[in-house]
Amino acid sequence: MGSVSQPPPQEVPEGMEDEARASVLAEERGILRNLAAAIIGIAPSLIYQWTSHGNIKVTSEGLVPISEVRRKTIEWHDKNSGKRAATDEGAIEAKIRGERAKASLAELELEERLGKVVSREAVQARLVDLFSMVKTRLTAMPDAYAAELAAKTDAQDVRAFLAKQIHSVLTILADEAEAGADASARDATTDTV
């Protein structure tokens, strides 16, 4: 089996987007054989056959360098289509980006099903519900407690009473938030079972 020595790591500028950073890392370290097969447009078993026969080089970690993916994509398409289909750098890179996007999406969907991530919309809806509940309870306080507060003459009594009522609202908020988190975790568990 052919092996490719690793080039020195390339510097990735700090502000570089994740996709560009991933591209530089893939160029340096290589990509998984299944991903290489998908980019070339062949069955994964053929990639494994090529690597075992030395027709495609792999790194010491068993990864396929991007340069090998480009070379085999060109060879494969030339051999099987009689023309240079998808041989320019842009088309190959576009295919690589597309496969990475599919893999990222599948990973994100799995994490969502496992309850590790939630949609932004679900979080926003939950926050709106919680803050509406707090607003309702706080705005009801003056009417609910005006008479009782008017009867109090000591500032410490008023302070203690208000602190108790505010603490009560905050406790309800915390309980509601925790109940929502527990329900989300239960939903994720039942979805995956």
Give the pLDDT score at 167: 92
Q: What is the pLDDT of residue 159?
A: 93
- pLDDT in the model for residue 188: 52
- The count of other CB atoms within 10 Å of the CB of residue 51 is 19
CA-based nearest residue to 87, from 105, 102, 71: 71
What span, in angstroms and rounded, lies between the C-alpha atoms of 139 and 43? 64
Residue 85 has what pLDDT?
47
User: 109 vs 120, 139, 179, CA distance in Å?
Assistant: 14, 40, 24
Boundaries of every domain in the chain: 3-113, 120-192
pTM of the prediction?
0.40
What is the reported pLDDT for 31? 80
Let me know: does 12 contact 24? Beta carbons within 8 Å.
yes
CB contact at 8 A, 67 and 29: no
- Region of 83 (left: φ > 0; alpha: ψ -120 to 50; beta: rest) is beta
Q: Can you give the pLDDT at residue 35? A: 84
Q: What is the mean pLDDT of each run of 10 residues along the chain (193 residues)?
A: 48 54 60 83 86 85 82 79 57 81 85 83 88 90 90 91 91 85 60 47
Q: What is the pLDDT of residue 47?
A: 84
* Spatial separation of the C-alpha atoms in residues 66 and 99, rounded to whole Å: 13
Between helix 18-29 and helix 66-81 the angle, nearest 10°, is: 80
**Half-sphere exposure of residue 133: CA atoms within 13 angstroms, side-chain side:** 16
pLDDT of residue 65: 83
Quote the pLDDT of residue 193: 43
Amino acid 192: pLDDT = 47
H-only helix segments in the chain:
18-29, 33-40, 44-52, 66-81, 89-113, 120-151, 155-192
